[in-house]
Amino acid sequence: MRRKIFNLSVFSLVAVLAGSALSPLTALAQEDSTVQTQEDSTTPAQTPSLYDRLGGVYSIATVVDDFVERLLVNDVLNANPKIDAARDHVPKAGLKFRVTALICQLAGGPEVYHGRSMTDAHAHLGITEKEWDAMVADFVLSLNKFNVPEKEQGELFALVGPTKDQIVTK
Ligand code: HEM
């Protein structure tokens, strides 16, 4: 099921990149481009947002679901008693929802993140550099599992990377 959702998005991504006429609207847009004015031809083509290239909220939620499941059984993270204790009082469905909303917002989607700041959400956990690296390794495994292209992975890291200063406190 998960795979199906992401395969759909990869299909859309490939279709968009290939410029194939998927719908009458796409065909219309292509037709219009043949009658460009001088001004139009100098306007750079708009790249779809990272959110759209990732396949939108369902695909992002699918990756986050896999990612959080990995974090929950990560021995490096669970060796930190504060992170381990959080497992007992933070429902994983809620955590997945909030992380999904945050990534959707950062990637340019319409979802709005209403959770705590990264500082407030992580200050009590005493997260180390080693734990951050373990989290990044799991993130890469999830992104690769769903065939997220290298370019989009790079853009995601550029968005998430700067949160390190707020999350790593030890
Ligand atoms: C080593 C890295 C990380 C660990 C161990 C970690 C762990 C946790 C834990 C245990 C919680 C629940 C805290 C609580 O409610 O008591 C949490 C919340 C959260 N984390 Fe992380 N996290 C890490 C990195 C990240 C990153 C990189 C992001 C996204 C950029 C992120 C986004 C969030 C969000 C959105 C919440 C929910 C905040 C809320 O409910 O208001 N975390 N994290």
- Reported as a single tens digit per residue, the pLDDT across 132-156 is 999 999 999 999 999 999 999 999 9
The pick from 82, 105, 167 for probing ligand 1's pocket by mutation, whose C-beta has the most ligand atoms within 8 angstroms, reads 167
Check if 166 has its Cβ closer than 6 Å to any atom of ligand 1.
no
DSSP label of 114: -
CA angle 146, 160, 137 (to 5 degrees): 50
> How close are the terminal C-alpha atoms of the chain, in Å?
39
Does residue 37 form part of some domain? Answer: no
Torsion 101-102-106-112 (CA) sign: positive
pLDDT in tens, 65-118: 999 999 999 999 999 999 999 999 999 999 999 999 999 999 999 999 999 999
Question: Has residue 37 got a pLDDT over 70?
Answer: no
Q: How many domains are there within the chain?
A: 1
Could you tell me the residue range of the domain that residue 88 belongs to?
49-167
For residues 25-35, give the mean pLDDT.
32
| Residue 23: inside a domain | no
Q: What is the Å distance from ligand 1's center to 148 Cα?
A: 22
In a domain, 128, yes or no: yes
Categorize the per-residue pLDDT at 45 as very low, low, confident or very high, splitting at 50, 70 and 90: confident
Confidence of residue 44 (pLDDT cuts 50, 70, 90): confident
Supply the pLDDT for residue 40: 57
pLDDT band at 43 (very low <50, low <70, confident <90, very high): confident
* 144 inside domain: yes
Whole-model pTM: value is 0.80
90 Cα: distance to centroid of ligand 1 (angstroms) = 10
Domain assignment present for residue 53? The answer is: yes
Whether residue 159 is contained in a domain is answered as yes
Q: What is the pLDDT of residue 41?
A: 60
What six digits make up the tokens of 107?
Answer: 């990637």
What's 160's domain CATH number?
A: 1.10.490.10
134 assigned to some structural domain:
yes
Residue 134 CA, closest ligand 1 atom number? 1
| Residue located nearest, by CA, to atom 16 of ligand 1 | 86
Does a structural domain hold residue 143? Answer: yes
- Residue closest by Cα to atom 19 of ligand 1: 121
